[in-house]
Chains A and B, each alone.
Chain A
Amino acid sequence: QVQLQESGPGLVKTSETLSLTCTVSDYSISSGYYWSWIRQSPGKGLEWIATINYRGTTYYNPSLKSRVAISVDTAKNRFSVKLTSVTAGDTAIYYCARYLGNGFYFDFWGQGTLVTVSS
């Protein structure tokens, strides 16, 4: 059973950069599949942020693309996301998940981590 665990600051100041890491257990990222970040906010519901594969090929939500960067560290079996110039609208629960590109679905998710953006 693949396990994913999000980690990072729970509070980020307005205009700064939000950085989160997802550590994967019981599966080697280098073995394949894609890896994604998704967030859930009260105002916008669930929103796909970005996806990356083990080779580093990236895919971004067009509405966030200018502020987001996703990366993968196969040596540490984890992947990360950075979101720049955050505002209160970026306050959300952030989830990481494994994504199956051939069927376009997320088969394993982390429990999520709440990030609050405040001045």
Chain B
Amino acid sequence: QSALTQPPSASGSPGQSVTISCTGTSNDVGGYNYVSWYQHHPGKAPKLMIYEVTKRPSGVPDRFSGSKSGNTASLTVSGLQAEDEADYFCSSYAGSNYFFGTGTQVTVL
């Protein structure tokens, strides 16, 4: 079993954009269009932000967008706001298993 690789941290000033990568293999990220992204403020319940690579649940601002190229998925947060400061992790279906990313702490400067 292996986790998906994310950068430990990312940052940007209010109004700027930040992109977080999530790298897996052809057996997970690259093999299925079932990548999802979650926002997690410690001590609270994780929140679904993106599912099926690019789709946004109702209520999630369109500042959040997802994409995928090969074995790497990405989450972009445009127009950073203070409340976007949180941990973000990705996940991917992998056949008979399910993998999560190592997590990225986003800081709004």
Contacts and interface: CB of A to CB of B under 8 A. Distances in A.
Nearest to B1: A63
B45 A46 contact: no
Contacts of B48: 105-108
Interface residues of B, number: 27
A104 B93 contact: yes
B51 A62 contact: no
Contacts of B93: 104
Contact of A61 (B3, B32, B89, B97): B97
A109 B46 contact: yes
Interface residues of A, number: 24
Contacts of A110: 45
A103 B35 CA distance: 9
Interface string A33-44: 000001000001
Interface string A80-109: 000000000000000101001001111111
Given A95-B45, A107-B51, A112-B45, 8 more contacts: A4-B45, A45-B100, A45-B102, A46-B100, A48-B98, A103-B55, A104-B93, A105-B51
9 contacts: A45-B100, A59-B96, A62-B1, A95-B46, A107-B57, A108-B45, A109-B45, A111-B43, A112-B45
Interface of B: 1, 3, 32, 34, 36, 38, 43-48, 51-52, 55, 57, 89, 91, 93, 96-103
